[in-house]
Amino acid sequence: MKKVFIGLLIVVAGTAAYFLFIREKKAGPPAGLETPELTGNWRTLQYEPVTDSMQLIYHYQFDDNGKAYRTTGDSSRTDTLYYAWTKEATLQLKSNPADTAAGYFKVTANGKDSLSLRSASGDPLFIQLGRIQ
């Protein structure tokens, strides 16, 4: 009787491990969603809402390692951001890779040299980026 019980436990554990492995394998982004290629140099074409009378113009340099460097116009001060794509093809931006707080942006329009992002948190933030050649 003990051997039958141990055999059933082994079968149940193997089945559970199999289904867990299948679920983890399918955890990536859905097949129909594609994320745009961000690597390279970008600048803001439009930034809404504008909080003061000046239009914010940022220059971004995205690299392959998940880092983005942001400068304002001709400023010598550079901010480092960390970016990643989520499963829902949402762009996640953080100021520190260990931060739990992040900004999430949905891609609303994607062209070869332009990218439109809208805040996924419900804020009225809209950013349009243009690729710098």
pLDDT tens digit at each of 133 positions of the chain: 888 878 888 888 877 777 666 654 433 344 444 667 888 899 988 878 766 556 568 888 999 888 999 888 666 788 899 998 887 778 898 998 888 888 898 888 887 788 888 888 878 888 889 999 7
Task: Sketch the domain layout of the chain as residue ranges.
Answer: 40-131
Question: With contact defined as beta carbons under 8 Å apart, do 69 and 59 qualify?
Answer: no
Sign of CA dihedral 39, 45, 50, 51: positive
| 118: nearest Cα among 129, 107, 133 | 107
From 112, 124, 119, 103, select the one nearest 42 (Cα to Cα): 112
Task: Give the alpha-carbon dihedral of 100, 103, 109, 110, to 10 degrees.
Answer: -60
Q: Which fold has domain 40-131?
A: Lipocalin (2.40.128)
Contact between 48 and 126 (Cβ < 8 Å): yes
Token representation of residue 98: 């260990």
